[in-house]
Amino acid sequence: MILSEIELIEPEENRVKIAKDDRYLYYDYLIIATGTHPRPDETPGLSESEWRQSIHDFYTFEGATALAKKLRTWEGGKLVVNIMELPFKCPVAPLEFIFLADWYFHEKQMRDKVELKLVTPLPGAFTKPRAASLLGSTLEDKNINLVTEFYTERVEPEKNLLISYDEEEVEYDLLVTVPVNMGADVIERSGLGDELNHVPVDKHTFQSTDHDNIFALGDAANLPTSKAGSVAHFAVEVFVDNFLRYIEGLPMLEKFDGHANCFIESGFGKGILIDFNYDVEPLPGKYPLPGFGPFSLLQESEMNHWGKVMFRWMYWNILLKGKEMPITAQMTMAGKWS
Amino acid sequence: MTTREIAGKEIEFDEEGFMTNPEDWDKDVAVALAADINITLSERHWEIIEFSREDYQAQGEAPGLRRITKEAGVPTKDLYKLFPKGPAKKIAYVSGLGKPTGCI
Ligand SMILES: Cc1cc2nc3c(=O)[nH]c(=O)nc-3n(C[C@H](O)[C@H](O)[C@H](O)COP(=O)(O)OP(=O)(O)OC[C@H]3O[C@@H](n4cnc5c(N)ncnc54)[C@H](O)[C@@H]3O)c2cc1C
């Protein structure tokens, strides 16, 4: 194992240049897993004079702690959560943040002093229709406004305004932003990325569309599904068997279906769970045991919240130790109703 | 799925109103589809449509705004002027392509 910054990937030479000792590593096969990262510098006005003052993010450790501190003494006003660009990692996070903010201000007995607004470039609260409609009505029930198809061009930090490409404006007192997400700079430098530095790959096998001996996994790839830890997890399960076949010269068999599975904390001790893939949108039902659950899909419940709490334990004790999870990598239709 | 007559051809559309067979598309169809959404096609419109058609051939899906801006060199602001209110969808519509995915 070598711990080092990767400076350049040279696919024509089959080698990777690392910062440590200016070394080259030669490869037969290369697996890229450099992730995707928030880039506030991509939006004019965002990370300038008001950054971490009236404009915050929660995707970095520094951002999340600064925002928590800000909220402790904030006296209320217009709190706007906005999404700059698609795709971004953990697509349910802005919804989860705003649900939890609603709960937090209730608990602080100041919800009446706070106007909550979610501003998104999407036509609804989520891309897929059934989930968009359920999550949309959950927002409504919680008195959270939703502004759709708002594609932010710039922020005017002195005037507290978000401005879209078609010159619409949204005013805020406190902006919590999900900045543009982009793949690692090394991907761009190496000429391996698309317009957002994500690596174009076959969506079932993760093989690079340009280089047969390069694969990209997780957030680094341009897969048309959520950029989420659950997706990376399911994807790797499918990938390992396939890759072992590939290096033996055998055809790759199993196909990744884009399986994603996300808990959404919705506040007041409840949660929502969604389960979907490339072809099947999130549907209502029971999970993981058909008919029994104990978790309810696309529905708010206390059990779902406890699922997320339990997952904390599973993460450290099962996932990170590489033990088998009691969940299948491929999505199943059993227990879902449409 | 619905079928409408566009520029003298029977064209099939999906539930969201996008053409299902990009091969049925031609320039007359584009002019008619643009007229549908109150757009008169200028040379700049055509540049974008042609880029989108080519990109679709290569990538298998309609390009998003950022991709058009970066690869075709048309500023996003101009895309909003040429195809007001939801340019990504309007460009795909006039170019006879499916709805851009805008993945999540
Ligand atoms: C606050 C937050 C909450 C989230 N919550 C959830 C959740 O509840 N559920 C869920 O499923 N997902 C969640 N996610 C998303 C999840 O964390 C990511 O999808 C997942 O980590 C992707 O894994 P990855 O290995 O592809 O990329 P990453 O975990 O981002 O790893 C990429 C690695 O590559 C390294 N790297 C990049 N460039 C270079 C270079 N040039 N040289 C050397 N190293 C480099 C980076 O330092 C990093 O360590 C959340 C993400 C955040 C930020």
- Residue A63 φ then ψ, to 5°: -65, -45
Q: Which of A8, A23, A198, A219 gets mutated to test ligand 1 (max ligand atoms within 8 A of its CB)?
A: A219
Q: What percent of chain B has pLDDT over 90?
A: 82
Q: What is the dihedral of CA A93, A99, A101, A107, to 10 degrees?
A: -140
**B86:A86 CB<8 A:** no
| A107-125 per-position pLDDT tens digit | 999 999 999 999 999 889 9
Rounded Cα distance between A26 and A15, Å, is 4
Structure tokens at A223: 């897969």
Give A89 Cα–ligand 1 centroid separation in angstroms.
8
Least-confidence region, from A43-57, A166-180, B8-22: B8-22
Compute the distance between CA of residue B87 and CA of residue B80 in angstroms, rounded to an integer.
Answer: 6
Cross-chain residue pair A128–B103, CB shorter than 8 Å:
no
Mutation pick from A96, A165, A178, A262 vs chain B, by most beta carbons of B within 10 Å, is: A165
Asked whether this chain's domains A6-32+199-247 and A38-181 adopt the same fold, the reply is: yes
pLDDT tens per residue, range A28-49: 999 999 999 999 999 999 999 9
Q: Does B101 touch chain A (CB under 8 A)?
A: yes
Whether the per-residue pLDDT at B103 is higher than 70: the answer is no
Nearest CA to ligand 1 atom 50: A90
B103 touches A at CB < 8 Å: yes
Indicate if B50 belongs to the active site: no
Give the tokens for residue A301: 């419940």
Across the strands, what pairs with A116? A79, A144
**CATH architecture type of domain A6-32+199-247:** 3-Layer(bba) Sandwich (3.50)
ipTM, two decimals, is: 0.81
Residue type, position A248, single letter: E
* Per-residue model confidence as pLDDT tens digits over A231-266: 999 999 999 999 999 999 999 987 899 999 889 999
The CA A35 to ligand 1 mean position distance, Å, reads 5
Indicate which residue of B1, B58, B103, B104 is catalytic.
B103
What's the average model confidence in pLDDT over A271-275?
92
SS3 at position A187: helix
Q: Which of B82, B91, B104 would you mutate first to test chain A, the one with the most A CBs within 10 A?
A: B104
Calculate what percentage of chain A has a pLDDT beyond 90. Answer: 76
- Would you kindly state where each structural domain of chain A is located, as residue ranges? 6-32+199-247, 38-181, 260-319
A151-194 pLDDT, tens per residue? 999 999 999 999 999 899 999 999 999 999 999 999 999 999 99
Is pLDDT at B95 greater than 70 in this prediction?
Answer: yes
Structure tokens at A25: 């590593």
Cα of A112 to nearest chain B Cα, Å:
32
In the Cβ-directed half-sphere of A245, how many Cα atoms lie within 13 Å?
12
Instruction: Write out residues with Cβ below 6 Å of ligand 1.
Output: A 5-6, 33-35, 59, 89-90, 93, 184, 186, 218-220, 227-230, 232, 262
Does residue B99 sit at the A interface (CB-CB below 8 Å)?
Answer: no
CATH hierarchy code of domain A38-181: 3.50.50.60
Tell if the CB–CB gap between A195 and B79 is shorter than 8 Å.
no
Q: Which atom from ligand 1 is nearest to the alpha carbon of A6?
A: 42
Q: Which residues of A touch B103 (CB under 8 A)?
A: 86-87, 127, 223-226
Task: Say if residue B60's pLDDT is above 90.
Answer: no
> Is pLDDT at B104 greater than 50 in this prediction?
no
Q: B104 to chain A: which residues are within 8 Å by CB?
A: 86-87, 91, 122, 126-128, 226
Nearest Cα of chain B lies from the Cα of A87 at a distance, in angstroms, of 6
- Helices B43-59 and B87-94 pack at an angle, to 10 degrees, of 80
Q: What residues are paired with A267 via a beta bridge?
A: A270
> What global pTM score does this model have?
0.91
Pick B25-104's CATH classification: 1.10.8.190, 1.10.10.370, 3.10.105.10, 1.10.10.10.
Answer: 1.10.10.370
A292 — pLDDT class (breaks 50, 70, 90): confident
pLDDT at A241: 92
For chain B, what are the domain ranges? 25-104
Looking at the predicted structure, is the pLDDT value of residue B86 above 90?
no
**What are A200-238's pLDDT values in tens digits?**
999 999 999 999 999 999 999 999 889 999 999 999 999
> Nearest 10 degrees: CA dihedral of A272, A277, A280, A286?
-40
Burial class of residue A177, CB neighbours in 10 A (0-12, 13-18, 19+) = buried
The pair of three-digit structure tokens given for residue A99, joined into one six-digit string: 């649900």
pLDDT at A21 over 80: yes
